[in-house]
Structure 1
Amino acid sequence: MLQTSGLPLTVRQFWWYSFFYWSFFSLIWYGQAVMVWLLTPNARLYFTDTLYWLIELLYWWSATPLIIFCAQRFSLLKTQRASRFVTQVLTHLLIAAVLYGVELVVEHLLLGAAIAHEQGKVITIRRVMTVFFLSFGNAFAQYMLLVVCYTVLTHVYQLQSLKQQHLQAELVNEQLKSQLANAQLQALKMQLNPHFLFNTLHTVVSLMLRNQTRRAALMVTTLSDLLRSVLVRQQANFISVRDEMTLTRQYLSIQQIRFEDRLMVEYEIAPEAEECLLPQLILQPIVENAITHGIADLTEGALIRITAQRLDETVVIQVFDNGLGQEQLHDTSGMGLGLSNTLSRLEKAYGEQATMQFDQPPGGTTTVSLRIPCQCSLLNSTVPHEPVSHAHH
């Protein structure tokens, strides 16, 4: 019964609350009898009167589970029509009448002889029926008050329970969405990592075939440092701008081994932007694109400049190269895997709040600008930070 009601009550609590409910009314009626006895001359308060109120209390207290069952079975809330509601009320009226009639019979059987002995009154059936019709209104009011209170309380708790379940379902749904987004981001990152890894290994093979073993060994060592940094952060979809610059610097070090003195890299990182979070390796495909489609054909003076600044709640990162540029960069379908993944990762992580813009003025050079909502990390990275130089040859 308690389980179907939804009320957060134990059996002990149910009986205690029921006892307090009926005790309240019994004390009122017994208090009235005491006041009449005190204010009426020559009046007497018989012991059987006290027993009468005590039996009434115990009777209705023991009948509480039956009343609650009837409140559930003939609920006043499960009525779509007025006629149905009236039928339910009349049903409760009949139940209350039966319960009150049984109470009077029980009291007559238990106290009839004692009342006749103490008060000299003989309790007849006529007298019992008279008491029934005179006092049934009070009994029905107590009965219906309990039914209404129970109905209202269960309805309120059920609404709260449904609201809690709805909130819990929304929370689970958001968690599932977050897990799906993280899985998608991780999948995109796993596509990206082999992409630049294969390109680097291809360069190492080319150097070995040209007997440039020192440069090949240096590139392998630098690649090892980069992979170690990536593996340390492999569980993190987002890292700080500072850590992202460390990975980018390691990647560009590999490219500088390849291009030797032809490539110069400059960094302009505002201190207030360093703690903003980014998707890990978000800059690598942009930098790779600048090298592959920008400066790869330059024989000297190749420049890549990376800047980061914070504008209010947005971090703006730009990758500039002075290469010849690439046609139709604005067409997403013409991008390689790396840039397509960059757009996909930004969309998965930020929706429409993040943008990637290409600027290619006539005559060459390309600037790729990322605008990302700045969300700062609460904890510093456990990986030692390497200082970012302003220019590196």
Structure 2
Amino acid sequence: MRVLLKITDIIDVEVLQKIQDSFSDATGFATITVDYKGNPITEYSNFSGYCTKVREDAKCLECCYRSDAHGGIESARSGKPSIYICHGGLVDLAVPIMVKGNYLGAIMSGQIRIDEEGMKKLPLGSVSELTDFSGNPELQKLYDQTMVTTLKQVHAAADLLYTIANYLVEKQMIHIMQEELHNKNLELMEEVKLRSEVEAALKEADLKALQAQINPHFLFNVLNTIGRLALLENAEKTQEMIYAFSDMMRYTLKKENTNIVTLKEEVEHVRNYLSIQKMRLGERLDYSIHIDEDAEEVMCPFMTIQPFVENAINHAIEPHAAGGKVMITGEQDGDIVTVRIIDDGKGIAPELIEKILDGNYDPEAQGNDKNTGIGINNANKRLKYYYGPEFGIKINSEVGKGTEVMIKIPRKALLGRGLNV
């Protein structure tokens, strides 16, 4: 098979990373996107502790690669999502990214468990038997901590990723067609200089542009349809999760070129994120949101609050069997709105707080995902950029007693944008 295009020619990797992260946040599935050779083009989202530990062994790592390769090849062969069991006993899926029959890569997801009946219906991914980790208490504990779901939900996740991949490819192919058409129009103007032909070509370009504007509605129509089907089947929690995830994606896609939003919009995005986490974690997560009505219309940088809430979930709630609490408040005092994100987790050492805010934190040295702290550092930099060096993030934390993040947002001109709010 001859590959004419690279996956990076077809899909905007930054947008794909945002969608991938939102998908992992909503479902709890680990996710990454690879090219046709199996090389990652995005960063891992929600990689499990179990799989991280398993891959420390060279032989196990080779089995992991074989399982992933099998999933990608099977999805490329069929042109449809492939769901299988890895050698470590977890369920994975591969969603192919295809253009005109050519396999460009795949979205790999999973690292979850399902019930025994569901496991019997799945093939073993390219390995003859499961690796026995029963003699390793640490691995067994990490395995027991991995997310448990149903085969039906795995199929739904695979179908959703397949829809998203097709949508992104379709959108970019239209963009490529528009660029080709535009270049032909320029050549036509230079060589022929016939007004009538130029006008006809521009009308065609206008039509393509209109189609490109309409196509983004396709994805949300699909999500809404799934939500309505869930309602008809009396699956209320599934319906709630679909609509919350749909709103999160709509927020991400609409705001990808917009740096400034209202605090109300940002908090609504966080509310959707927490409602999905609540469905996933159940009684382990207790959260509350209280924002002064007068503070809701203050303007703030896009994705200012969400990184801190996500950090609280990942480090204050997830690691503890009993879970914990997250409280978000927003209060206006004169020309300043103060947003607080408070958790009752294990807290952060003072020396780590400084490193996180300065961008010098090494998460891998602390045994954390390499993306840990990036969103926090970015939010701190953007606040200083928009409001001046005296503003930014303040983190108060005491080891063993929890963490409080304070974000001060002034009602004044944003220096980086020149917008008077």
Give the TM-score taking structure 1 as reference length.
0.43
More strand by share: 2
Q: Using CA pairs under 8 Å that are at least 6 residues apart, name the structure with larger relative contact order, 1 or 2.
A: 1
More helix by share: 1
Tell which structure's C-alpha radius of gyration is larger. 1
